[in-house]
Structure formats: C-alpha cells, structure tokens
Structure 1
Amino acid sequence: MAGGRENAEMQVPDPSADPGLAPAAVPAADVQVQPVGTAMVLAARGEFDVLTTPKLQWALEQALAEAPAVLVLDLTETTFFSSAALGCLIDARNRSAEKISLRLVAPRHLRRNLQMLGMEPLFRLFDTTPDALAAADARPCGPARRGGWAEDGLGAAFRTQICHQHRPARG
C-alpha cells in the first residue's frame, strides 16, 4: 500500500471542535481508518451533518491519497447522514473512479435514501464489511467512467456546493 501504512490506524482530526460552539451543539461522529491487506476500511459512526461531515471528508481524502485497491466505507453505525455527507460520497466516488474500487456497507435507512435519490446504482453496496472485502469484482460503478455527474443529470454544481463547502481548512 502507498505510504507504507500496512497496520497503522490513521487518526482523524476533529474539524468540528470549534471553541465557539457549545459541546451539546456538535453531534457525535467518528471515522476510524484501518488498512486490511491491500484494502482500506473506513468505519463511520454517529451523525454526519454540516458540522461533522468534514471528519468524513478528511478521512476519505486521506484514504484516497493512500490509493488502496479497495476502499470500503462502513456506514452501518451511522444514525444520521445528511445531504452534505451524501455529497462527500459522490465526490469520493468520482475521485476514485477507474483507480480504486469504492464499496459502501450501508444500513437500510441510507440505502433507502440512495434509492429515492436515484443514486443506488452508482455505488457498490454490501451488507457487511467482510462481504465488501471479499467481493471479487474491483471494477468501479456507473457513469463516473464516462465523465461523472454532469452526464448523470445531477450536475457538478450539486457536487461542488454540497461537498466542497464542508472541507476542513488545510493548514
């Protein structure tokens, strides 16, 4: 794996730790990153809204930079997944196309949202992390190979507005 991170967990910073916010105003959210062979597993837990989505975005960016053959995003322990978080999934999918097999382990509530938005066919969905890791086909899904979301009718403006405004500041 690139960067030589075979068995080390990455520590995800907390960009929502704004001293101006009351602790009760920031929902609990966490992303754990664990390399597994040539794959990388990101396990997201908690609520991902406008304040906590930067944690997810940062973890996805770091994982994509490592360029694993397979990137599994386990969302089974998420209790809320906002449109901002969905936008980050779209961004990660588009950035990983052709290079990395992005696989989602999604609970029923998130699958239902993806289905209602017409986004379900764009992701490889699995019931468990072991199923996602064991899947043989490493081919990326859908239209990102042809040019991305503009061809899908969702447009680059949606992706840019929803996801990029929530990236943590780089220092």
Structure 2
Amino acid sequence: MNINFLTQPTAVEENKNTVDTVFVNRFINGMMRIPTEIRLRFKTINNIPAVTVTLTYKSRIKETLTTIANGELISAIIAAMGSQLKPIQEFQTNGNHVVEDTSENFELEMFEAFIRSQHQLKLEDDFISPYGDRFLHAIFTIGFHHDVHFYLKRNEHIEELLNEALKA
C-alpha cells in the first residue's frame, strides 16, 4: 500500500487562514472567569500574524491560547483586556474570521503601533539568550495585570523607537 500523506487534505489545511473558533470560545469563557492576570504576545506563524494569550485564574491555573489573528480579533482582545467584552462577543458571532495579512515580523509591527499608543510602557531587564543576544523586554499595560509583552532583539531600529518614545 502506497499512501502519499502530502496530498491528503486535512481540516487544518482547509482552514489554515482562519481564526481558530476554539480560541475565541475559550478566550471568552476565560474572560467570564475573571482572570487575575492576562498576558498578550504577538508572533508570526508561517508568515501569518498570530497571538498568544495567557490567562491566570484565582486558583493559580494558567491557560494559554494561540491562534492566527487579524486586526478585528486583535482589537477585540485588547478591548476585552480593558474590560470591554462586547467586541469579542460580536467577533464570535459576526466577526471576519479570515486572516489575509502576511508578515515576516508581526511582533515588531505591533511594537511600533503600541509605542505610538497611549498605553503605559514599562521596560524590564533585557533577556539574554544562551548565544549572548540581548532582547528588549517591553510591557504595555492595558489594565491592572492586563499586559502586552514584547521580546525584541535589540538593534538600531529598536533603539531609535525607544529614544523617540522617551523624548515624547
């Protein structure tokens, strides 16, 4: 028997450019449990923008959720982090779940957008990789213990962005 697994369609392949509905459902259910801490991270998965949300509950249980994302979902997540659940609930029922954008460095693009926003920025100690590379650890606060974390390799562009933010 000769089976070619590369040509067999899978559910993942058919829906690879749509927001994971399980993510949306679990995120809304998690927000209803009133988490004590929410962390949002941006990343790129196969050149497609994605988000990872970690919810920490009073019972000290942590739940981590990841999906590819579009602007509508990201805006709804940030609104939910600011205690506005209506946008994420509307996204669940009526939102555009298709992800058309591509990006090679989505985290940097989002950092550039956040650095221009009014959210409070906190700079933590750099993360140093086992190879000696330094990574900026920047945290933007959306609400009490509701933060967006960035880990970006320090370079001239990152330093310019930080200098501009510090001058403002």
**Larger strand share, 1 or 2:** 2
Tell me, yes or no, whether TM beats 0.5.
no
Q: Which of the pair has more CA radius of gyration?
A: 2
TM-score (norm. length: structure 1): 0.31
TM-score (norm. length: structure 2): 0.31
